[in-house]
Amino acid sequence: MISAISYKEGHELYMQRCLQLALLGEYYVAPNPMVGAVLVYHDQARGDVVVGEGWHHRFGQAHAEVNCIMDAERRNRIIESEDAFYRNCTLYINLEPCSHYGKTPPCAELIIKKHISHVVVGMLDPNPLVAGKGVRMLQQSGVDVQVGVLEAQCRFLNRRFVCLHEKNRPYVILKWAQTLDGYIDVQRSYDDDCVPLVISNMQTKQMVHKMRAENMAIMVGTNTVLLDNPKLTTTRWSGRNPIRVTLDRHHVLDKTYHIFSDQAETIVYDDDTTFPHILNDLALRKVHSILVEGGTKLLNHIISTGLYDEVHVEVGNMNLITPHKPNLYGVKAPLFPQMLQYKMTVEGNKLYELIR
């Protein structure tokens, strides 16, 4: 029994710790899910004791369960044959242990080998290669398994991974910044010297780079590449650069643009440039998320398809059209049909969001 706190509260406490640990791999494990694991020893004299913790650090490396068990053996100097120790343990993990051979051996087999008697799982793995097979493998070997502790939180943490496997498309996040009077930029052409409108401040720019690091891909339209020549990297945040995605239906982009640098992979769609086709192709490439930072035309097209999961809008503390600039022409912000929820104010700019 779990001492000092109820059985249910104990499960939720340790599962919450799994979620905290899982986040430590946030910027490096994609397209794998973020996973954390906690091993709890049931001591009759001391009550429950956390004897091991682990998380999935990086794609292709050891999974959370392996790191947790290795941590327990380092901490407690466990000899591999000491089955009695593990028989008195419960392993908590926010995602079902894998049951197939991939870049690493199945974690379910390791749990069985160690004779861990109880496993508490946050959610089943939506990946068809697992999808309940890991739990069945454990149960068939006599392991007591409980599934569904803090399931909603577990699904939200790995919503990108879940979207890829349940909807067969990447998780889509739309992001733009606009003025108080609803413009995202001034009217510019490719052959003038007009500078882009700056709406974001230093802190919100850093927050955008954090979003880039959280997602596997980033997308802009042809005009954004031609006018702004962006790098689309994460220079203001640690983490991997996202895959850069753009359109070039009329073949106007050459290799001199920053988007073709060797800092990250770039995918150009020049035949079928419809968003459903792009999402289908990215899913085949195992890209589980895409951040769209495009202009109004691209964003309006995506909004019209309904194929998006989150919207983030930054509203700057300024108007583009003023009595001092009555003849200035601006680019209208995307037309979004739903009410966004206020999130916070950062250095005078208000941030709004919608998570579907």
Quick: pLDDT tens for 172-182.
Answer: 999 999 999 99
Active-site choice (53, 65, 96, 293): 65
Domain locations in the chain as residue ranges: 7-161, 169-355
Beta-sheet pairing, 36-43 with 47-55? antiparallel
Least Cα distance to 247 among 262, 235, 259 occurs for 259
For 314, other C-beta atoms within 10 Å of its C-beta total: 22
Residues of the chain above pLDDT 90, percent: 81
- The answer to whether 278 touches 284, Cβ cutoff 8 Å, is no
DSSP letters of 6-74?
-HHHHHHHHHHHHHHHHGGGTTTSTTSPP-EEEEEEEETTTEEEEEEEEE--STTS--HHHHHHHHHHH
Query: What dotted CATH number matches 7-161?
Result: 3.40.140.10
Quick one: pLDDT band at residue 8, thresholds 50, 70, 90? Answer: low
d(CA 71, CA 74): 5
- The answer to whether 222 touches 253, Cβ cutoff 8 Å, is yes
- The answer to whether 109 touches 102, Cβ cutoff 8 Å, is no
Q: In the structure encoding, which two tokens stand for residue 121, read together? A: 């799982």
- The answer to whether 280 touches 313, Cβ cutoff 8 Å, is no
**Three-class SS state of 192:** coil
Known active-site residue 314: no
pLDDT at residue 78 greater than cutoff 90: no
Tell me how many degrees the CA angle 166-305-173 measures, rounded to the nearest 5.
60
Element (H, E) at 331: strand 330-332
pLDDT at residue 327 greater than cutoff 70: no
Beta-sheet pairing, 310-315 with 330-332? unpaired
Quick: pLDDT tens for 229-263.
Answer: 999 999 999 999 999 999 999 999 999 999 999 99
Please tell me the least confidently modeled range out of 129-143, 256-270, 271-285.
129-143
pLDDT at residue 126 greater than cutoff 50: yes
pLDDT at residue 45 greater than cutoff 50: yes
The per-residue pLDDT for 3 is 36
For 282, other C-beta atoms within 10 Å of its C-beta total: 24
- The answer to whether 93 touches 120, Cβ cutoff 8 Å, is yes
pLDDT at residue 139 greater than cutoff 70: yes
Q: What is the pTM of this model?
A: 0.92
Quick: pLDDT tens for 300-317.
Answer: 999 999 999 999 999 999
Q: In the structure encoding, which two tokens stand for residue 50, read together? A: 């956390």
Quick one: pLDDT band at residue 1, thresholds 50, 70, 90? Answer: very low
Least Cα distance to 84 among 53, 115, 52 occurs for 115
> What are the residues facing 178 on neighbouring strands?
315
**Three-class SS state of 132:** coil
pLDDT at residue 190 greater than cutoff 70: yes
d(CA 308, CA 293): 13
Query: What dotted CATH number matches 169-355?
Result: 3.40.430.10
Average pLDDT across the chain, whole number = 92
Q: In the structure encoding, which two tokens stand for residue 303, read together? A: 């909004």
